[in-house]
Amino acid sequence: MLKTKDILDEKDKRLRLTSKEVTFPLSNQDKKAIHDMIEYLTNSQIDQLAEKYDLRPGMGMAAIQLGIPKRYLVIVHEVGEEEFDTYVICNPKIISNSAEKIYVEMGEGCLSVNRDVEGIVPRYARVTIEGYDMEGQKIKIRAREELAIAFQHEIDHLNGILFTDHIDPKYPFKDQDSYRAI
Ligand code: NI
């Protein structure tokens, strides 16, 4: 079972790598990593288990956050009381996006960033993503609002980008009125 300390911290330079596309079939190591990521993200959003196993709550993780420089990510989206939609996507690409941009009013978070960061991260309100499932079958996902932000955040990780990179430290709330808060 994955532990919080297994997740790379923002100071770790590996988070700056551009991850490489995966080929199929996935290795057993990659399958295990995906399983571990799903388990961690799900448990971390169930209060009792998060406390029991000392997990930081999070809805998304990219492989590089475990030190694996490969292009796959997992998102576990809470859609009801302890009810989750789980997404696994390999080699994801955003193929279309809305003109409208939004941001998380409370501030975006990341399992690799262990501090509160003030400021606005503009993200597309809606995105369509293409990629492959664990078996190598092509998949297409349409995401909006919080889920759309999660995909953009995780795809950034595959390119060595952290959410904090999008925030101007001098003007963390720059152009706030141009975007819709969620
Ligand atoms: Ni993150």
What is the pLDDT averaged over residues 84-112? 97
8 A C-beta contact, residue 125 and residue 148? yes
pLDDT value of position 133 = 98
Number of structural domains (the chain) is 1
Question: Chain centroid to CA 122: how far?
Answer: 15
pLDDT value of position 96 = 98
Q: Ligand 1 centre and the CA of 115: distance in Å?
A: 12
* DSSP states along 45-59: TSHHHHHHHTPPP-S
**Whole-number percent of the chain with pLDDT over 70:** 100
Q: What is the CATH number of the domain that holds 132?
A: 3.90.45.10
8 A C-beta contact, residue 125 and residue 96? no
pLDDT value of position 86 = 98
What is the pLDDT averaged over residues 145-167? 98
Q: What's the pLDDT band for 56 if we cut at 50, 70, 90?
A: very high
| Residue 21 annotated in active site | no
Write out pLDDT tens, residues 2-14.
999 999 999 999 9
> What is the C-alpha separation between 99 and 76, in angstroms, rounded?
26
Instruction: Determine whether 49 is exposed, middle or buried from the number of CB atoms within 10 Å of its CB (0-12, 13-18, 19+).
Output: middle
pLDDT value of position 83 = 96
Q: Ligand 1 centre and the CA of 48: distance in Å?
A: 23
Q: Which domain holds residue 102?
A: 4-181
What is the pLDDT averaged over residues 36-54? 97
> What is the C-alpha separation between 58 and 79, in angstroms, rounded?
14
Q: Ligand 1 centre and the CA of 154: distance in Å?
A: 6
Beta carbons within 8 Å of 2's beta carbon, 6+ residues apart: 36, 37, 39, 40, 66
pLDDT value of position 115 = 93
Q: Ligand 1 centre and the CA of 59: distance in Å?
A: 9
What is the rounded average pLDDT for all residues in the chain? 97
Q: Model pTM greater than 0.95?
A: yes
Spell out the long-range contacts of 4-7 with Cβ–Cβ below 8 A and sequence spacing 24 or more.
4/54, 4/55, 4/56, 4/111, 6/66, 7/56, 7/61, 7/65, 7/66, 7/111, 7/112
Write out pLDDT tens, residues 26-39.
999 999 999 999 99
Q: Ligand 1 centre and the CA of 50: distance in Å?
A: 18
What is the pLDDT averaged over residues 137-145? 98
Catalytic-role residue among 82, 118, 145, 154: 154
Write out pLDDT tens, residues 99-128.
999 999 999 999 999 999 999 999 999 999
